[in-house]
Amino acid sequence: MPIISYREALRAAMRDELKRDENVVIMGEEVAQFNGAYKITEGLLKEFGPKRVVDTPISEAGFIGLGIGASMLGIRPVMELMFWSFSYVAFDQIVNNAGNIRYMSGGLINCPIVIRGPANGGTNVGATHSHTPEAILASHPGIKVVCPATPYDAKGLLKAAIRDNDPVYVMENTILYNDKGEVPDEDYIVPIGVADIKRVGTDLTIVAHGRAVITSLKAAEILEKEHGVSVEVVDLRSIRPLDEETILASVRKTHRALLVEENKPFCGVDAQVAYLIQARAFDELDAPIGRVSSIDAPQIYSKKLEDLQLPYPARVVEAALKVLA
Amino acid sequence: MAKPAIITHPESLKNPAGPSEYSKHPVNTSLTKEAKIALYTKMARIRHFEQRCIRIYQQGKIGGFLHLYVGQEAVAAGTISLLGKHDHIITGYRDHGHGLMVGMSMKECMAELTGKVTGCSKGKGGSMHYFAPDKNYWGGHGIVGGQAPLGTGLAYAVKYRGEKGSCFTYMGDGAVNQGAVHEAYNLASLWDLPVVFVVENNGYSMGTSQERSTAHPGCLAKRAEGYNMAWDMINGHDVYEVRAKTAAALKRAHEESKPTVLEIFTYRYFGHSMADPDKTYRDKEEIKEYRDKKDPVLLFEQELLGEKVLTPELVESINTAAMEEADAAAVFADESPEPTFSDITKHIYWEEDNRSKKSTSSGTIIFE
Ligand SMILES: Cc1ncc(C[n+]2csc(CCOP(=O)(O)OP(=O)(O)O)c2C)c(N)n1
Ligand SMILES: [Mg+2]
């Protein structure tokens, strides 16, 4: 199987879908002539032309709203946000318009729009550019949110998102863009709402999403080697819908749970996951649920400290040992 | 750079009421007698529908906000009467007039107000959120100015598909200060999209007069120049004038795929919504002045009586029929069932409402 980067996997998904469906349009700041701020869309303008790959002005509320309007008439826009942090200036469009219109119209209208881009800290760019809004957005019924952690999932989830008839927000991670992995050439989708066991284990379940999955896999390695603990890592892949059954099945097997995410703790995704586990697997738990999130402050600029603000393997190991104690 | 079209001087709007100088405009002379009667009938239907709503609201049967269109009928009627198969419509929350104009029934509109399952949005949208996509009507939007990018996107889709169409994107005079509106203006002009932005200038945004809300050079439409867009001002009390000047914008959209901003001067007779006691920001004399001298329905009635298209008998029968239709709609709304408890969690996701083997998603999507 070909080994390609997370970036190339995203690009492959868009290429496939541009070829498959003439209603798919790529739109965003610098996606066409500049080849993408992160080169995700590199070469697409050349291959598909300016009708299908469109540069927008710096006007997030305007162009995202435009994409939502176009999607109501059956266009399938794949909108790039240079950072998900910039979604905040388009919040009304993203939440009120895309998220509510199907409901408020009693099911007469749907919005098959995809908005994608990086949503992560850890790149030494300060608080305004480091938001992780997956929990905020997933808290709105009507919206779907996915967070791929690997190249395989990036391609499969983005393709599923483009084919999905609801608004799907794909949150990527710039630190993962160069990560490589096996990705089939052929057409496949990763269904939205299906978690993936990224590592099988018996003593502790770690639930994570996005780059926290990679961090957790590293921690699991250390826990195995240095502490003889067998860790299972559940990658949520999708925040809403949420694969509750896979989480519960793993916890029922290991009887211990540690939740790891790069969000800030208050109302993070894992607050919901912790609620789920205590509500449906309370009797299965041998220890209180553990949690590792980013340290609760706006994202710090200082590189050295930002690396400590985010979950990192040693912190995950320490928290895991507490749950295992 | 194309020179923006500047057509009317605001003074023309201050002319006293009289026979419309636009009655001889081709878009109006081309109307058959039947079409003129139909246009008048639609305006009368909006008037009577809205007035019937007041009673139902006062009976406590309509929840939340109710923004009436009385006084503004000629705006929706004049503009929408020109539209064809590929022309789309989107507006703010003062959306009943547009709904009736596109052909929604009084029954589905009234039942939506009372939150019934027979309402156009199955009781899920309410007064501010009417929708009829089968009639190219995309709402009904509650956030001031939030619909402007959507309308621009509908026009983008029309152009993308190679259709000769447009999207009429309505907003109030207060909405022109929203950032989303300016972003939409820029995109529409930059990408040559067939949008017609219609600013329904009724003089007030809630209790704030237009003078107190907006820094402008004499009119709101002129802001279009900053975006290299054509614009025009229209006396919205004269449905013939609305049609005549809107026709030029529609043609620009259809033939050149270019946007226009139309500012249509109009007036609302009732408070901003039924929750507005309407006591602090304008005086009764002003309202009376408009009602007495510039009422769009009465002016058009006069016009058509003068043209011998209408007769007093016909006027009476049209108005009686509209009132009866509104009464029947009220009964229908009253007698219709409420949505059921399980309806709360329907129509959230297309994929949930249309589950099949090809579904792209699974897992828990509605949480407890
Ligand atoms: C973003 C936003 N801010 C405030 C409001 C509350 N609000 C609703 S209508 C309105 C006045 C708008 O006036 P205008 O645009 O002139 O339209 P009109 O009501 O006169 O038709 C206000 C302040 C809102 N719905 N949305
Ligand atoms: Mg107003």
The pLDDT tens digits of the residues spanning A56-85 come to: 999 999 999 999 999 999 999 999 999 999
pLDDT tens-digit map of B121-167: 999 999 999 999 999 999 999 999 999 999 999 999 999 999 999 99
Q: What is the ipTM of this complex?
A: 0.96
- Two tokens at B291? 């009602």
Whether residue A267 has pLDDT greater than 50: yes
Domains of chain B: 10-353 (3.40.50.970)
Three-class SS of chain B:
CCCCCCCCCHHHHHCCCCCCCCCCCHHHHCCCHHHHHHHHHHHHHHHHHHHHHHHHHHCCCCCCCCCCCCCCHHHHHHHHCCCCCCEEEECCCCCHHHHHHHCCCHHHHHHHHCCCCCCCCCCCCCCCCCCEHHHCECCCCCCCCCHHHHHHHHHHHHHHCCCCCEEEEEEECCHHHCHHHHHHHHHHHHCCCCEEEEEEECCEECCEEHHHHCCCCCCCHHHHHHHCCEEEEEECCCHHHHHHHHHHHHHHHHHHCCCEEEEEECCCCCCCCCCCCCCCCCCHHHHHHHHHHCCHHHHHHHHHHHCCCCCHHHHHHHHHHHHHHHHHHHHHHHHCCCCCHHHHHCCCCHHHHCCCCCCCECCECCCC
Residue pointed to by tokens 């041998």: A286
Asked if A105's CB is within 8 angstroms of B129's CB, the reply is yes
CB distance A201 to A256 below 8 Å: no
pLDDT at B273: 95
For residue A92, the ligand 1 atom closest to its alpha carbon is: 1
pLDDT tens-digit map of B253-271: 999 999 999 999 999 999 9
pLDDT at B5: 36
A53-55 and A168-172 beta bridge pairing: unpaired
* Banded model confidence at residue B216, pLDDT cuts 50, 70, 90: confident
pLDDT at B17: 53
CB distance B262 to B197 below 8 Å: yes
pLDDT at B12: 43
pLDDT tens-digit map of B57-91: 999 999 889 999 999 999 999 999 999 999 999 99
pLDDT tens-digit map of A290-315: 999 999 999 999 999 999 999 999 99
Residues A99-120, mean pLDDT to the nearest whole number? 98
Q: Identify the residue whose C-alpha is closest to ligand 1 atom 8.
A: B144
Task: Return d(Cα A204, Cα A179) in angstroms, integer.
Answer: 26
Q: Identify the residue whose C-alpha is closest to ligand 1 atom 17.
A: B172
Asked if A105's CB is within 8 angstroms of B139's CB, the reply is yes
Write out the H or E segment, with its range, that includes residue A206. Answer: strand A204-208
pLDDT at B350: 96
For residue B94, the ligand 1 atom closest to its alpha carbon is: 21
CA B172 to ligand 1 center in whole angstroms: 8
Three-state DSSP state, A288: coil
Whether residue B194 has pLDDT greater than 80: yes
Residues of A annotated as catalytic (active site), given as ranges: 60, 129
Q: Which ligand is nearest to the CA of B271?
A: 1
> CA triplet A235, A120, A57: central angle to 5 degrees?
125
Q: Which residues lie with the beta carbon below 6 Å from any ligand 1 atom?
A: B 94, 142-144, 172-175, 200, 202, 204-206, 272
Residues of A in contact with B342 (CB under 8 A): none
The residue to mutate among B206, B209, B276, having the most atoms of ligand 1 within 8 angstroms of its beta carbon, is: B206
**Residue B167's closest chain A neighbor by CA?**
A69
Per-chain mean pLDDT for chain B: 94
Whether residue B11 has pLDDT greater than 80: no
Whether residue B19 has pLDDT greater than 90: no
CB distance A41 to A211 below 8 Å: no
- Selection from B291, B281, B270 nearest residue B213 by Cα: B281
Residues of A in contact with B115 (CB under 8 A): none
Asked if A103's CB is within 8 angstroms of B124's CB, the reply is yes
Domains of chain A: 3-182 (3.40.50.970), 196-324 (3.40.50.920)
Task: Return d(Cα A221, Cα A239) in angstroms, integer.
Answer: 25
Whether residue A269 has pLDDT greater than 90: yes
pLDDT at B356: 87
- Two tokens at A47? 């291959």
Residues A130-149, mean pLDDT to the nearest whole number? 98
For residue B213, the ligand 1 atom closest to its alpha carbon is: 16
Whether residue A120 has pLDDT greater than 60: yes
Q: Which amino acid appears at position B115 of this protein? A: G
